[in-house]
């Protein structure tokens, strides 16, 4: 967990949600109808928001006004039952699972990590030595031994250069086989042992690596000094503490995974996997839908859908994985993949995709098992998770109500032509380009659409203020200690959860200031 942030701490300081009694310790900054915005909710939302949302001479008031507008719309959304819509409930279900997973890790992994002081100082000291190397992978030890013998009077670097010159079509250059600067914690123990006494320019003994072996030559060594005080505090020590934390946490997590999954006898259906991989890879390569669920896209496919979509539909009910107590169909994985697709998107080939898919299926089973344990132990009832879910329900209910309000609003061709005639300078283009305004049609359309959205929403907000009275604690607002400098209005800081990539806290919607 590099740069580990205990994001759940934020949950403990967040605002309350739907008509929940406010903790007396939480100071109320604003009240909108029966719901409130607390000081802590405002601070975290403000600090981690888009910088343009904090513009103006009084950025705190500007930002609070956006939060109030969203709460007005959320209140109306609750009245209209939009908090029970699929849009909101599906996101709430995903958020709850991720919160449970995070809670599980905190109790069973992070809280068990223990880094002795002597080990931390020793590791910090060792990390002052860094190596830069060139590495050559081979299939067998015999081949590695021959190359090592051949390079005794030259170098592995020279040997690699000669091998690359033999390529009819250059596929890789020599830098591909060179490493960045690495310290002892970047290296596997077997590699570290092999280079411990290796001279610069010499070829190492064959090192087991993956399904074969690798030969290593040290290109350079960098020795950095470290002060005695830096072993006890400071950036170098903290960086190493985080790395040691990661290593130990991964070890604990792996042991937990084995203890949970081994008794379940997980079996992957190879035949189904073989059918799924090529079609799912083609879909991923061509681009997965961003605003529609994968499962819905497959189940409700258009007549013009690609062949691979049709093939996936035929596989939906096929069993992909079995355990002693359950089975997982292809449709179950697509439902999961809808929110966890980044690793598959980064596949470099179908072979790489297959490997990543197997890993992702395993991760799904592991996460679902951990989530089930956390849920059974009552983590769902914790105040941290309840408050987090209430905040996000309010945010997504606002989203749903906003969508309902602006549904059907469009820009006509006459409005576009009028814009081109009287307002084209707002596109910030040179006069010479005015003969080709069609190139800016999307930009002009979005500008006009945003104007129409805001005109309608501002009218609705005025109406909602009559239904849900707004009160602001201006004295408290002025006392809030946040960075409101001009420089801060140029910087956006986003904090996301390690497990899911989701935002840690809701922030004001950028669509208040421009079309997204």
The confidence band for 494, taking pLDDT boundaries of 50, 70 and 90, is low
Are residues 336 and 277 part of one domain?
Answer: yes
Assigned domain for 352 exists: yes
Tens of pLDDT, residues 461-472? 999 999 999 999
Instruction: Show the domain range for 162.
Output: 129-223
C-alpha angle 92-98-102 in degrees, rounded to nearest 5: 140
Are residues 275 and 211 part of one domain?
Answer: no
Assigned domain for 313 exists: yes
- CB count within 10 Å of CB 513 equals 15
Q: Which residues, 6+ apart, have CB-to-CB distance to 236 below 8 Å?
A: 124, 127, 226, 230
* CATH number of the domain within which 182 lies: 3.10.50.40
The predicted structure's pLDDT at residue 485: 60
Tens of pLDDT, residues 80-116? 999 999 999 999 999 999 999 999 999 999 999 999 9
Q: Percentage of residues in the chain with pLDDT exceeding 70? A: 89
Number of structural domains (the chain) is 2
Assigned domain for 433 exists: no
Assigned domain for 424 exists: no
pLDDT surpassing 80 at residue 13: no
Looking at residue 85, what DSSP letter applies? S
The confidence band for 422, taking pLDDT boundaries of 50, 70 and 90, is confident
Tens of pLDDT, residues 115-170? 999 999 988 888 888 999 999 999 899 999 999 999 998 999 999 988 888 876 66
Separation CA 266–CA 422 (nearest Å):
67
Separation CA 184–CA 206 (nearest Å):
19
What is the chain's alpha carbon radius of gyration, rounded to the nearest angstrom? 29
pLDDT surpassing 80 at residue 492: no
Where a domain ends, among 351, 376, 401? 376
Are residues 288 and 200 part of one domain?
Answer: no
Are residues 276 and 208 part of one domain?
Answer: no
Assigned domain for 311 exists: yes
Tokens 């990543």 correspond to what residue? Answer: 356
The confidence band for 10, taking pLDDT boundaries of 50, 70 and 90, is very low
Separation CA 489–CA 53 (nearest Å):
8
Assigned domain for 55 exists: no
Are residues 186 and 275 part of one domain?
Answer: no
By the 10 Å C-beta count (0-12 exposed, 13-18 middle, 19+ buried), 178 is classed as middle
pLDDT surpassing 50 at residue 7: no
Q: How far is CA 369 from the centre of its chain?
A: 21
pLDDT surpassing 80 at residue 216: yes
At 23, is the secondary structure helix, strand, or coil?
A: coil
- Half-sphere exposure in the Cβ direction for 217 (13 Å, CA): 20
Assigned domain for 200 exists: yes
Where a domain ends, among 205, 223, 241? 223
Are residues 210 and 312 part of one domain?
Answer: no
The predicted structure's pLDDT at residue 169: 66
The predicted structure's pLDDT at residue 293: 86
Are residues 346 and 272 part of one domain?
Answer: yes
Lowest mean pLDDT segment, chosen from 154-163, 223-232, 421-430, 445-454: 421-430
Separation CA 216–CA 159 (nearest Å):
12
Phi-psi region of 65 (alpha: psi -120 to 50; beta: other; left: phi over 0): alpha
Where a domain ends, among 334, 357, 376? 376
Tens of pLDDT, residues 24-65? 446 999 999 999 999 999 999 998 898 889 888 899 999 999
Are residues 304 and 212 part of one domain?
Answer: no
Assigned domain for 235 exists: no
pLDDT surpassing 60 at residue 414: yes
């Amino acid at each position: 967990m590099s740069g580990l942030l205990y994001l759940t701490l934020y949950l403990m300081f967040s605002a309350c949600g739907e008509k929940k009694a406010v903790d007396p310790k939480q100071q109320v900054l604003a009240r909108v109808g029966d719901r409130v915005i607390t000081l802590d909710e405002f601070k975290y939302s403000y600090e981690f928001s888009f910088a343009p949302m904090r513009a103006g001479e009084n950025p705190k008031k500007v930002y609070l006004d956006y939060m109030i507008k969203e709460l007005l719309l959320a209140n109306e959304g609750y009245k209209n039952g939009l908090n029970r819509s699929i849009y909101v409930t599906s996101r709430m279900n995903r958020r709850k699972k991720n919160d449970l997973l995070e809670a599980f890790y905190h109790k069973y992994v992070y809280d068990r990590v223990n880094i002795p002081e002597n080990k931390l100082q020793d590791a910090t000291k060792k990390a002052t030595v860094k190596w830069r190397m060139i590495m050559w992978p081979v299939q067998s030890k015999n081949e590695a031994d021959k190359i090592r013998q051949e390079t005794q009077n030259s170098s592995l670097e020279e040997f690699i250069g000669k091998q690359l010159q033999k390529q009819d079509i250059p596929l890789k250059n020599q830098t591909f086989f060179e490493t960045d600067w690495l310290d002892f914690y970047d290296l596997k123990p077997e590699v570290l042992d092999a280079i411990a006494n290796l001279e610069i320019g010499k070829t190492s003994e064959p090192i087991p690596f993956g399904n074969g072996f690798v030969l290593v030559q040290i290109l350079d060594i960098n020795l950095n000094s470290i002060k005695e005080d830096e072993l006890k505090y400071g950036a170098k020590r903290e960086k190493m503490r985080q790395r040691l934390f990661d290593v130990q946490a991964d070890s604990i997590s792996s042991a937990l995974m084995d203890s949970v999954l081994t008794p379940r006898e997980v079996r992957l259906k190879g035949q189904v996997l073989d059918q799924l991989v090529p079609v799912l890879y083609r879909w991923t390569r061509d681009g997965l839908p961003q605003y529609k669920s994968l499962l819905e896209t497959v189940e409700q496919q258009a007549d013009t859908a690609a062949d691979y979509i049709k093939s996936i539909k035929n596989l939906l009910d096929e069993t992909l994985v079995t355990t002693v107590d359950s089975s997982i169909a292809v449709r179950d994985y697509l439902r999961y993949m809808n929110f966890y697709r980044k690793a598959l998107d980064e596949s470099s080939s179908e072979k790489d995709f297959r490997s990543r898919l197997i890993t992702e299926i395993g991760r799904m089973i592991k996460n679902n098992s951990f989530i089930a344990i956390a849920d059974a132990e009552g983590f769902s009832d914790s105040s941290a998770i309840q408050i987090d879910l209430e905040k996000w329900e309010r945010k997504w209910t606002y989203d749903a109500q906003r969508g309902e309000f602006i549904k059907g609003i469009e820009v006509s061709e006459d409005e576009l032509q009028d814009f081109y005639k009287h307002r084209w300078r707002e596109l910030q283009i040179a006069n010479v380009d005015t003969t080709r305004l069609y190139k800016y049609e999307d930009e002009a359309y979005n500008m006009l659409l945003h104007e129409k959205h805001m005109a309608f929403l501002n009218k609705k907000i005025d109406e909602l203020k009559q239904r849900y009275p707004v009160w602001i604690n201006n004295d408290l607002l002025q006392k809030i200690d946040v960075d409101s400098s001009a420089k801060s209005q140029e910087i956006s800081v986003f904090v996301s959860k390690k497990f899911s990539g989701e935002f840690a806290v809701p922030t004001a919607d950028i669509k208040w200031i421009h079309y997204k």
